[in-house]
Amino acid sequence: MQDLFSVEGKVVLITGGSKGLGKMIAEAFVRSGSKVYITARHGAVVEQTAKELSKYGLCIGIENDISSKEGIDALVREIENKEDILDVLINNAATGWHEPFDNFPEKGWDKTFNLNIKAPFFLIQGLKPLLEKNKTKENPAKVINIASIDGLGVAFEDSYPYTASKAGLIHLTKSLANELAPNNIWVNCISPGAFASDMNIVARDNPDLLAAYVPTKNIGTMEDIGGTCIYLASRASNYTNGANFAVDGGWTAAAYGGIHPDKL
């Protein structure tokens, strides 16, 4: 039982790992003894985060933009050059685009879908040989897709492609869980609620305001998102495949928090 939740020594890749949720997840794995690669577009931020987290263990930063197939292929090659196997892939990188319905541009759809759902698919495809290498049913590789509670309901200020892409990522998780199980690769999903990040400015800048509408009366922390990821990456979740976890303090269970946009 002591090793049930252990991720010590596992090789982990986290996209969008330089800040926000990705950084929280990376810190949890680094502190737990994993060898962690983080990747994001802004090299200086990646380097700074890797340096900061390396105080707790081993964190390696890679500057990369996976919003294009070329970027995805480049990241796959870099990981292949550095590692013989990959134990855990966490698809966290995401973006959104807010604009009124009547003016919403095609480029907003393309940017959002390219990063939020196209990139996870092709990154899993490209890294499949490393993920399945030396894996067994008793010791499978783990893929964790980071969706959103916006994929479970309709946000008040709808970034149309964001909610659609996150709902799609939840469904893609189920599809790939079935597809990749014979290769000893388990695929699960997390739909986070209110966590302080650039994607959730209210939670970042006014946590008490938002927490008042969450049943648990708080916003999420590094331990909350990190702990769920560690469960899904460890032996503890070996009979969990194709699942989606709402890590939201009960937000979705309480009629989407009961928040009217005027209150925010």
Paired tokens of 248:
């939201």
**Known active-site residue 162:** yes
**Which value, in Å, is the radius of gyration of the alpha carbons in the chain?**
18
H-helix segments, 10-157: 20-31, 43-53, 69-82, 106-113, 119-132
> How far is residue 232's CA from residue 210's CA, in Å, rounded to a whole number?
27
Contacts 24+ apart (CB under 8 A), 79-86: 79/13, 79/37, 79/127, 79/130, 80/130, 82/37, 83/11, 83/130, 84/130, 84/133, 85/11, 85/130, 85/131, 85/133, 85/134, 86/11, 86/13, 86/127, 86/130, 86/131, 86/141
Choice among 37, 162, 213, 256 that is catalytic? 162
- Active-site positions? 162
